Structure formats: C-alpha cells, structure tokens
Amino acid sequence: MAPIKHFAAPAGLTTPPLSFATRVGDLLFVSGIPGFDQNGTIPDSFEAQFGFVVHNIKRVLEDAGATFRDLVKVNVLLTHASDVAPMNALYASAFGPPPYPARTTCVVQALPNPAMLIEIECVASLAGR
C-alpha cells in the first residue's frame, strides 16, 4: 500500500479533526473547503464565499504541487438552489478554461456552520509527481 501524506490546515485556523487534503499514490483528496478568509471568518455574500473557497483550494493544491488543471472530480455543496446559476458562472471562470473536471452539485439543507453557503471538495491527479 502506498504511504499516505497529510496536508494540514493553514496555521492559526481552528478546524474540525481532519486533514485539508491527503495524498495516496497519484491521487490528492481535498476535504470540503468552506469560504473562510485568512482569519477564519466566513463572509456574508455567496460571491465572497466562492472566491475564498477557490483561494483556499488553490493553496491546498499548490502545497501538493498541483493546479486546477489537475482536478478530475469536484463536488459542490450549496445551501440555496438560487445560488446554482451564479455558482456556474463563477465556477466557469475559476475552474476553466474547458475541459472542466467532472462535477456533482448538490443543494443541501445545511452545512456545518450556519453561515456557510458553499463548500467544495475535490480530487486531483498527481500522476508523474
């Protein structure tokens, strides 16, 4: 079995008991990341949260030597169906250009923190690295 490498949360953040990402073999599994800023605060607007989700995922990917082009699967969790269309527009810009990774988008009743409007988890291929 391949060794597992764990990537911790950024220093100074209070997080639940999890790794921000784990690598096993050529795959990197990124935990569900909410839209918190550098102080751990979750802003009110959907657009701001989306921007911080992208920033936080990018940081995790870079720590592992990956980029958005290495993503093979993305799961998006939203708390409001009305955010699907804005999310698609923001997603196209942040995760593009095509081809995009495979994706599932779910509207859920709630996320762990009531302020959270979005959470994204993903899997990247690190083949050859």
CATH number of the domain that residue 93 is part of: 3.30.1330.40
Distance CA 105, CA 1 (A): 32
**pLDDT for residue 111:** 96
For the entire predicted model, the pTM comes to 0.94
Contacts of 41 (CB under 8 A, 6+ apart): none
**pLDDT for residue 41:** 92
**pLDDT for residue 40:** 87
Please report, rounded to a whole number, the percentage of residues in the chain having pLDDT higher than 70: 98
- Residue span of the structural domain in which 45 resides: 4-125
* pLDDT tens sequence across 88-128: 999 999 999 999 999 999 999 999 999 999 999 999 999 97
Provide the β-strand partners of residue 53: none
The 10 Å Cβ neighbour count of residue 6 is 10
Assign residue 57 a region (left: φ > 0; alpha: ψ between -120 and 50; beta: otherwise): alpha
* pLDDT tens sequence across 11-50: 767 778 889 999 999 999 999 999 999 888 999 999 999 9
Number of structural domains in the chain: 1
Cis preceding linkage at 99, omega within 30: yes
Distance CA 61, CA 71 (A): 9
**pLDDT for residue 93:** 96
